Amino acid sequence: MRPHPQAHAFFLEMTMSMPPYGSVAWFEIATDDPDAAQRFYGEVFGWQVAADPQAGEAGTDYRLITTAGGDAPAGGILGTGGTMPGHAVFSVAVRDVQEVCASVERLGGTVVARHEASEGGPANAYLRDPSGNLFGVFSPPAEA
């Protein structure tokens, strides 16, 4: 399972509203039917969904979700094309992804996927807690 590299790009551009480390800061819904997910969540919660142009240029179907009353994206819908099981996951902003991965393993969890920061996105990882629940972490890139 590979986190979408631009999933947090819009969020990270909003440095003025960066939540405290340790806060849930992003969510992602992965599905092989992103159109149905967009309709469902849009109607249930009043979410606005728009294509992520950067992801589209890279050939990825990623749609940014702005929640009702929100002024910026807070999550996304990833069209998997059937390459992975559908899932919904929350991501927590952390200072150091590697440090959190080590803590998760020490405490009985597992690292599913870990990726260093790149031009396309932040350092991030998908993890499982000791009960098997999937969650994500990401770190904003170092300031230049």
pLDDT tens digit string along 18-73? 678 999 999 999 999 999 999 999 999 999 999 998 888 888 999 999 999 999 99
Residue 50 lies in a domain: yes
Per-residue exposure over 109-141, b if at least 16 CB sit within 10 Å of its own CB, e if not: bebeebbebeeebbbbbbbeeeeeeebbbbbbe
Residue 75 lies in a domain: yes
- Give the domain range for residue 98: 9-16+23-139
CA pair distance 121, 10, nearest whole angstrom = 10
Residue 112 lies in a domain: yes
CA pair distance 81, 70, nearest whole angstrom = 28
Residue 101 near residue 127, CB atoms below 8 Å? yes
Residue 74 lies in a domain: yes
Residue 107 lies in a domain: yes
Residue 4 lies in a domain: no
Total structural domains within the chain: 1
Distances (CA, A) of 115 to 10, 112, 139: 18, 11, 11
Residue 84 lies in a domain: yes
The mean predicted confidence, pLDDT, of the chain is 86
Nearest CA-CA partner of 29 in 89, 71, 83: 89
**Residue 10 pLDDT level (bands cut at 50, 70, 90):** very low
CATH classification at residue 42: 3.10.180.10
Residue 92 near residue 136, CB atoms below 8 Å? yes
- State pTM to two decimals: 0.76
Model pLDDT, residue 56: 86
pLDDT > 70: percent of the chain: 83
Residue 1 lies in a domain: no
